[in-house]
């Protein structure tokens, strides 16, 4: 039964029920509610202070996980920067010097920043400095990668051009290296045929009549026929890059004007045509119209077998365009 209270009414000696006014009931209920809420808040604060709320625990764990992720990402970024530094070193000390290219200025590889605040969106947070550090690293990697990509692209283009240049320059002996050499690049006091003093602008090779002559570099034939200047049957090849090679006193010509030849290709046979005292090859190299010593453009430390093995290999190659 409900907890009810009674009192003895002495006027009629009867027990009567105690009636509590409605406002008192409301007041009691309000007091009870306030006390309960107050105690709940106090207990909640005490629990949170010692143990923390579940939501705070979850958020705290997420923060720790993010710090760990940042630490791992920081190592990867540092490794990426080290790799980029190695690439920059190779670029500056290997590739560009070999290909005769200027080095990339420091200011281009490491640009400064000013003006607009690029970190405004991450300011005011607990870990703002940490996030700014990582954003700087990412931006640094992005800039360095972009510069290095463009550098490698330029190196690749220069390498291809250099490879083509090496293919076209006159850089082998035009005949078997074992043949005896005659006069080289010098002033001759007495020409063997004319008997007059004059310059000899090339290198003579004393060869048997009909010896095969090979193009010393890839290029385009610009002259193939009789030369009235004394070379007789003569071939001139334009190798580009300012280089031309001349092959004189031939007995036979196997190429035509406009024909593209490759290094090691047989272009004619030696003879004694023109102003000549006997069968031999006059070989001449011009660079932008200046006479060069042909002996400086090939390696003569080859045996006869090695020379013809080189010619066979060159003849099988495709010309690099």
The string of pLDDT tens digits covering residues 232-263 is 999 999 999 999 999 999 999 999 999 999 99
Nearest to 213 by CA among 258, 248, 244: 248
Q: Is the pLDDT of residue 163 over 80?
A: yes
Domain that holds residue 94: 69-168
**pLDDT band at residue 197 under the 50/70/90 scheme:** low
Q: Which token pair is 309?
A: 């093995």
Kindly state whether residue 175 falls inside one of the protein's structural domains.
no
* Mean pLDDT, range 129-150, rounded to an integer: 83
Kindly state whether residue 14 falls inside one of the protein's structural domains.
yes
* Mean pLDDT, range 268-293, rounded to an integer: 91
What is the number of helices (H) and of strands (E) in the chain?
6, 13
Side-chain half-sphere exposure of 303, counting CA atoms within 13 A: 3
Residue 121 DSSP code: G
C-beta neighbour count of 42 within 10 angstroms: 10
Residues 190 and 164 in one domain: no
Strands 186-188 and 243-253: unpaired
Residues 115 and 147 in one domain: yes
Residues 117 and 46 in one domain: no
C-beta neighbour count of 294 within 10 angstroms: 24
Kindly state whether residue 177 falls inside one of the protein's structural domains.
no
Dmax over Cα atoms in the chain, in whole Å?
174
Residues 304 and 206 in one domain: yes
Residues 213 and 155 in one domain: no
Q: What is the pLDDT of residues 51-89, one digit of tens each?
A: 656 676 777 777 777 777 777 887 888 888 888 888 888
Number of structural domains the chain divides into: 3
Kindly state whether residue 77 falls inside one of the protein's structural domains.
yes
Q: What is the pLDDT of residues 91-107, one digit of tens each?
A: 888 888 888 888 888 87
C-beta neighbour count of 210 within 10 angstroms: 12
The rounded mean pLDDT for the chain is 81
Residue-level pLDDT at 137: 83
Q: Is the pLDDT of residue 23 over 90?
A: no
**Which range, 29-33, 198-202, 219-223, is most confident?**
219-223
Rounded CA-CA distance 66/256 in Å is 75
Kindly state whether residue 173 falls inside one of the protein's structural domains.
no
Rounded CA-CA distance 128/260 in Å is 66
Residue 118 DSSP code: T
Residues 6 or more apart whose CB falls under 8 angstroms from that of 237 comprise 170, 215, 217, 219, 220, 221, 222, 244, 245, 247, 261, 267
- Three-state DSSP at 189 gives coil
What stretches of 133-215 adopt beta strand conformation (E)? Answer: 186-188, 198-200, 203-206, 212-214
Bridge-partner residues for 187, per DSSP? 199
Residues 261 and 235 in one domain: yes
Residues 38 and 88 in one domain: no
**pLDDT band at residue 184 under the 50/70/90 scheme:** low
């Amino acid at each position: 039964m409900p907890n009810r209270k009674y009192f003895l009414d002495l006027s009629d000696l009867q027990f009567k029920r105690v009636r509590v006014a409605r406002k008192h009931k409301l007041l009691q209920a309000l007091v009870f509610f306030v006390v309960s809420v107050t105690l709940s808040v106090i207990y909640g604060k005490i629990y949170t202070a010692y143990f923390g709320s579940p939501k705070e625990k979850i958020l705290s764990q997420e923060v720790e996980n993010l710090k760990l992720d940042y630490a791992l990402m920081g190592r990867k970024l540092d490794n990426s920067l080290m790799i980029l530094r190695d690439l920059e070193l190779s670029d500056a000390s290997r590739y560009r010097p070999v290909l005769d290219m200027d080095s990339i200025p420091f200011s281009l590889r490491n640009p400064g920043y000013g003006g607009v605040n690029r970190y405004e969106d991450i300011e005011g947070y607990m870990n703002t400095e940490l996030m700014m550090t990582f954003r700087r690293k990412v931006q640094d990697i992005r800039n360095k990668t972009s510069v290095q990509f463009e550098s490698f692209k330029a190196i690749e283009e220069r390498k291809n051009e250099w490879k083509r240049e090496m293919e076209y320059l006159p850089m082998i002996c035009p005949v078997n290296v074992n043949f005896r050499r005659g006069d080289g690049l010098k002033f001759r006091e007495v020409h063997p045929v004319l008997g007059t003093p004059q310059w000899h602008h090339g290198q003579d090779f004393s060869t048997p009549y009909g010896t095969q002559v090979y193009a010393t570099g890839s290029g385009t034939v610009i002259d193939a026929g009789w030369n009235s200047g004394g070379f007789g049957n003569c071939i001139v090849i334009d190798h580009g890059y300012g280089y031309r090679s001349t092959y004189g006193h031939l007995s036979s010509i196997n190429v035509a004007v406009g024909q593209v030849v490759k290094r090691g290709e047989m272009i004619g046979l030696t003879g004694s045509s023109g102003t000549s005292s006997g069968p031999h090859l006059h070989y001449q190299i011009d660079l932008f119209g200046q006479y060069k010593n042909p002996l400086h453009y090939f390696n003569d430390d080859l045996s006869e077998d090695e020379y013809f093995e080189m010619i066979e290999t060159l003849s099988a190659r495709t010309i690099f365009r």
